[in-house]
Structure formats: structure tokens, C-alpha cells
Amino acid sequence: MERIYITTPLYYVNAEPHLGHTYTTVVADTLKRYYRSIGYDAFLLTGTDEHGDKIAQAAAANGLDPKAYADRVSDLFRSTWDACGIAYDHFIRTTDGYHTKFVQSVLQKIYDAGEIYFGEYGGFYCYGCERFYTEKELVDGKCPDHQKAPDYISEKNYFFRMGKYQQRLIDALQARPELIRPERYRSEVLAFLREPLEDLCISRPTSRLQWGIALPFDSNYVTYVWFDALLNYVSALEHRGGESIAVLWPKANHLIAKDILKPHGIYWPTMLMAAGLPLYDHLHVHGYWNMDSGKMSKSLGNVIRPLEMKARFGMDAFRYFLLREMAFGQDAKFSEEALVTRINADLANNLGNFVSRALAMQQKYFDGVVQPLSANWASEDVKLRDIFAAAEFDLKSQMEELQFHRALEAVWSALDHANRYIVQTAPFTLIKDAEKKARVGELLHHLLEAVRTLSRVLAPFMPETAVQLRDLLALGDDGLNAPWGQGFAAGHKINPPKVLFPRIESNGKK
């Protein structure tokens, strides 16, 4: 059986779940459902990253100890993904005991191999970024991300010989052009590697920070948060046991936003090389959601919370918007206006209307009982079937490239054709002629086949809608994969239509 291992980043517990987290997680969930639907053993990992200065500081600001604070925010992520129907297989926390043990075992192994050394380092340290900056990287003496002058710190620390792996990483990126996708992010990593790659400081003295995993070879230090967090992708598999690492790790598909390209594109592969593990299969990098009103922030009050979106618009409509609006890899703009426009145009007027028309006619003309097809199909019937088959074929190739918006476009172009088919064949007119009743039965049968196909192909994107369609057709799980024309047994009776996607008025009310 073919396998795929899909991961979201471990979300840092310094913020509650927002649009950026939700997008990555919805993409991961869609991929998992898609690969399951084509017969893969697909495993989806998500979780939370909980160590480091920022968490220690946030906990202190909330009057909590770091673990109690991390528990609270981690639970919020987990319960949010549960409420959103995300089908993750494992939720890892970097404070889990098995993860700590794994990180320490890797550190010890790399240390014993001479890949970690003790040295002195002085530099400009930004607490917000949890990293040192070179003078060149500062803008007017300030951290470009935090607009704050960093502190100068000089201390003894442990370093991972990352620079040693520079050429091996360049070679790997050249030998496997699809290692980092889309191409622009691979180019970005290669451009970065044109400069000498420095060694990575992987420790923090406990005099400054206690909230981290202790170095196994020196208890005066804890592990740098990235060196700890990245290892989750493997520690979760080790925890799962059996052959998980052997069979799933080489099939790892990481999903990240572009702000964490450097740790995933440079630190992580060199760490894997040092640990003697194969590289991941792919690193898939997506862009940012920009807000109409500028950058999303708590102070601007424009934070998009997934559960609010779910309550107001429905999770499937929200998922559809996210997957349809953003071209994976590029930035996209989020606005409620655009969301409402898509829900009304694509879901209410197009998909919802098509399904309710087909089901209403079936109900009205045949009391819901599916009529037989003749042996020879009319050319427009064959064409309808072929257009859906072509759309499903197109969808497959788009999914391999993570072009979700194109995959959905393919489905909607078939849907447009199906709407035209209703207009052109006009079953509502033919039914007035008693001699044409058998033909109307055939037309509706083909329309129901289109609905059945939609239920199958939309399942990874809009899982609740797919189930609703299947229920309207009164079919079980197993009724979805039969070829066109063989999906309904003789005398099969479907259910009356219902409104799948109510139109949303511009004031936001349904």
C-alpha cells in the first residue's frame, strides 16, 4: 500500500488559533482526505511547540508557570481542530515525555559524533525572534520583525556544526528539485546557501532560560527551541512504534508558511543529515493571507478565528473559500466580502442550486424513484459523463501540485456544464409531454450521477457537504465509487432536496 505522511508545523503556543494556522491545517486535512480517497495509508500529524523564551515570558505575563500556560493554549488548539473536524491522527506536544527523550537521544548521538561543540558567542539577540542577529541583518540597529533594538549578549554555548553540511544540502536541493516546493522557495534556500552557512547555536544557558529540554550532556543548558521542535516530526513516529519511522518518515510531506522556510529548509535537513536520517520527501511552502485592513493583529481587532468563521458561515464554506481563493505558494487577500461573494456565487447559486433542482425534479416527477437508463445513451448524456470524468482526472493532477484552487475550478467547470445540460435538455418542458416521460427519467438519472460524482470528488475539500449529498441520494459509503450509470439500483429512492448553502445577505445574515 502506498503511504503518505503529512504534517502541519507545530503551532507555537504564544497565540490562539487564527487564519494562518487554520489555512495550513485545512490544507493538511484536505491532502490527507484526498490521499485516503485514492487508497493511500495517509497519516496526519499536528500539535504544539511549547518551549522557549517567548512562552516563558507570555506565561509570566499571564501569572502562570510555563507548563500551565502551555497546557491552556495547547488545549485550545486541539479543541479548535476537533471542532473544525480536522482528521489528524496524532497531536504532539513538545512537552510530551517521549518527545523530550527523543530530542535528548538525538542530541547525545550528534554530540558523541563530534557534531556539537562548546564555544563562546557574542551577538545581538532579539528575544522576540529568539535568535541572534548579525549587524548586517539589523535595520537601523533594530530587529526588522520587532522594530526593537536587540540586546547584546555574550555567552558560552553549544553549537551544531551546520556549516559542515552546506555542500551536501546544496547537492540534495539540486539532485531533488522537488524537495522544496514551489520552486521559488527552493530558489530562496539556494540563494541563502550562496553565503557561507554558519554553525547553529543550539543551547541557551539556564541562567537565562529554564523553559526548555535540558541538554543531556550539560544540565546548565537547555535546547534551542527550533532544535527541539523540528524533531517532533520524527519523535511522533517513534512514539507510534512499529515500522512507523521506516515506512512513513521517507514519505514525509511538511506543510509550512513561508515565514518558517529557513528552519525547515536549512536547519532541519542538516539536522537530519547529522542524525543519519533520510531527508523529508517534500517541504510545501505557502504564502500569507493579507487582510484588507493591513496585517492581522490583536490590536487592530481583525484576527480571524476559525470557530467564529465556522459558526457564522459553516466550516465547509470557510474551507472552500480558503482552498479556492489562495493559489498555494502565493499570497492571497482575505476579506469577508470576498468570502460572502464566493459562498453566494459558487456554493449557493451554483452547487446548491444545481443539487436542489435535480433532486426537486426527481421528487416531483417520479416521487424520488430513480428511473432506468436505456442501453443507448444520447450524445449529450455521454458528454456530461465525460466532462465529469475529465474534471476528476484534472483534479488529480492539480492535487499532485497542491493547486487546490485549480482542482476546485475543474470541478466547478463540470458543474457549469451540468447546469447548461439542464437548460439545454429542459426536462421541465419535456415532462409536459407524456411520451417524453422516459427520457426525462434518463435526464434526471444522469443529473443524479453528477450529484453522486460531486459527493465523491468534493469529499476531501468539503467533507460535511459530501456526506450531505450522499445522504440526499440515500447512498452508503460504498455507493460512491461505482461507474457512471451504475450508481443506483433499480427502484432506488432518493430524498427530497434541502437548502445546502443559504444565500448570505450583505449584512452577513443568512
- Separation between Cα atoms, residue 405 and residue 445, nearest integer Å: 29
> Is 178 among the residues that bind Zn ion (CB under 5 A)?
no
Window of 13-21, 67-75, 140-148, 347-355 that interacts with Zn ion by CB under 5 A: 140-148
Options 42, 107, 143, 359; binder of Zn ion; rule CB under 5 A? 143
Q: Identify which of residues 128 and 368 has a Cβ nearer to Zn ion in the complex.
A: 128
Options 123, 128, 163, 205; binder of Zn ion; rule CB under 5 A? 128
CB 127, min distance to Zn ion, A? 8
Q: Is 84 a catalytic residue?
A: no
> Is 129 among the residues that bind Zn ion (CB under 5 A)?
yes
Window of 138-146, 164-172, 271-279, 481-489 that interacts with Zn ion by CB under 5 A: 138-146
User: Going by DSSP bridges, is the β-strand pair 214-215/252-257 parallel, antiparallel, or unpaired?
Assistant: unpaired
DSSP state of 493: B
**SS3 per residue for 113-153:** CCCEEEEEEEEEEECCCCEEECHHHCECCECCCCCCCCEEE
CB 139, min distance to Zn ion, A? 11
> Is 146 among the residues that bind Zn ion (CB under 5 A)?
yes
Q: Is 146 a catalytic residue?
A: yes
Residues 424-439 as b or e (16 or more Cβ within 10 Å = b):
ebebeeebeeeeeeeb
Window of 50-58, 142-150, 378-386, 487-495 that interacts with Zn ion by CB under 5 A: 142-150
487 dihedral zone (left: phi>0; alpha: psi -120 to 50; beta):
alpha
Q: Is 298 a catalytic residue?
A: yes
- Separation between Cα atoms, residue 102 and residue 179, nearest integer Å: 25
Single out the residue of 297, 276, 264, 353 nearest to residue 110, CA to CA.
276
User: Going by DSSP bridges, is the β-strand pair 332-334/289-291 parallel, antiparallel, or unpaired?
Assistant: parallel
Helices (H), ranges, 3-96: 19-37, 53-61, 66-83
Size of the site for Zn ion (CB under 5 A): 6
CB 151, min distance to Zn ion, A? 11
The residue with cell 426536462 is 427
CB 148, min distance to Zn ion, A? 7
Report residue 64 as a C-alpha cell: 502562570
- Separation between Cα atoms, residue 167 and residue 197, nearest integer Å: 9
Q: Is 201 a catalytic residue?
A: no
Q: Identify which of residues 129 and 303 has a Cβ nearer to Zn ion in the complex.
A: 129
Residue 476 · residue 487 · CB < 8 Å: no
The residue annotated as part of the active site, out of 67, 109, 129, 258, is 129
HSE (side-chain half, CA atoms, 13 Å) at 374: 12
Q: Identify which of residues 131 and 324 has a Cβ nearer to Zn ion in the complex.
A: 131
The residue annotated as part of the active site, out of 21, 99, 310, 417, is 21
> Is 126 among the residues that bind Zn ion (CB under 5 A)?
yes
The residue annotated as part of the active site, out of 51, 84, 126, 310, is 126
Window of 141-149, 284-292, 318-326, 415-423 that interacts with Zn ion by CB under 5 A: 141-149
Q: Identify which of residues 78 and 131 has a Cβ nearer to Zn ion in the complex.
A: 131
CB 175, min distance to Zn ion, A? 34
Binding site for Zn ion (CB under 5 A): 126, 128-129, 143, 145-146
Residues labelled catalytic? 18, 21, 126, 129, 143, 146, 295, 298
